[in-house]
Amino acid sequence: MDQCRFPRQCGSRLLPAGGIGSNRQARIWISQSERSAVTIKPKSLSSPKQSFGENPVELRESRNYTKEYVKGFVEKWDELIDWKNRAQSEGDFFIQTLKQHRARSVLDVATGTGFHSVRLLEAGFDVVSADGSAEMLAMAFENGKRYGHILRTVRADWRWLNRDVHGEYDAIICLGNSFTHLFAERDRRKALAEYYAMLKHDGILILDHRNYDRLLDNGFSTKHTYYYCGEDVTAEPEHVDDGLARFRYRFPDDSTYHLNMYPLRKSYVRRLLHEVGFQQIDTYGDFQETYQDEEPDFFIHVAEKSYREEQEEFEA
Q: Indicate the pairing of strand 126-131 with strand 298-304.
A: unpaired
Let me know: does 106 contact 173? Beta carbons within 8 Å. Answer: yes
Give CA separation, 155 vs 131, 166, 187, 188, 276, in Å. Answer: 5, 12, 18, 18, 24
pLDDT of residue 21: 39
Domains of the chain in start order, with CATH, are: 1-45 (no CATH), 56-304 (3.40.50.150)
Span 66-92, pLDDT tens digits:
889 999 999 999 999 899 999 999 999
CB atoms within 10 A of CB 90: 22
pTM to 2 decimal places: 0.82
pLDDT of residue 72: 94
Span 212-266, pLDDT tens digits:
999 999 998 876 666 666 778 889 999 999 999 999 999 999 999 999 999 999 9
pLDDT of residue 164: 95
CB atoms within 10 A of CB 145: 12
pLDDT of residue 228: 67
Low-confidence ranges of the chain (pLDDT < 50): 1-45
pLDDT of residue 227: 67
pLDDT of residue 232: 83
